């Protein structure tokens, strides 16, 4: 995996990745070094499951945000995020990790969504946030 070829570094105050109607935004008011890594179609361009983006915060990387921009299939987004955590485990072994599934339509934030997040954390030791259409994260 060639991280350099698939990465774009920035210190801009807002970094945005989007696909169709789903959007993930990183608010970088401290102007930290942030790198967005295109996973789907660049870092991993074979048949393996993978998420869309990894946002690396800090230099060296102290936090990795795994982002899947999805239509409405939350279960598939979870599988893709878990797979990417496994594929990139060596690179981010010393980094704090968080996962985000941003969908265009999710069921009401009830017990089923909460249970998916709890199960994800139990199996990966990484927190999962499921958001509808747009998600914003401050570093």
What is the overall mean pLDDT for the chain?
A: 92
Work out the average pLDDT over 43-68. Answer: 95
Cβ atoms of 83 and 48 closer than 8 Å: yes
Tell whether pTM > 0.85.
Answer: yes
Distance (Å, whole) CA 83 – CA 95: 17
What's residue 59's pLDDT?
A: 84
Residues in the chain, overall count = 139
* Per-residue confidence band for 11, with pLDDT thresholds at 50, 70 and 90: very high
Q: Which residues pair with 12 in a beta bridge?
A: none
């Amino acid at each position: 995996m060639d991280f350099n070829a698939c990465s774009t570094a920035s210190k801009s105050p807002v970094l945005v990745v989007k696909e169709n109607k789903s959007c993930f935004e990183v608010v970088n008011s401290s102007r930290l070094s942030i790198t967005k890594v295109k996973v789907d179609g660049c870092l991993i361009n074979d048949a393996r499951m993978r998420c869309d983006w990894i946002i690396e915060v800090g230099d060296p990387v102290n936090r990795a945000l795994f982002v899947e921009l999805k239509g409405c299939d939350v279960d598939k987004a979870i599988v893709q995020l878990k797979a990417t955590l496994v594929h990139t485990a060596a690179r981010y072994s010393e980094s704090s990790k968080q996962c985000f599934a941003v969908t265009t339509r999710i069921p009401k934030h009830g017990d089923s969504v909460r249970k998916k997040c709890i199960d994800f954390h139990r199996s990966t030791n990484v927190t999962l946030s499921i958001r509808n259409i747009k998600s914003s994260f401050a570093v």
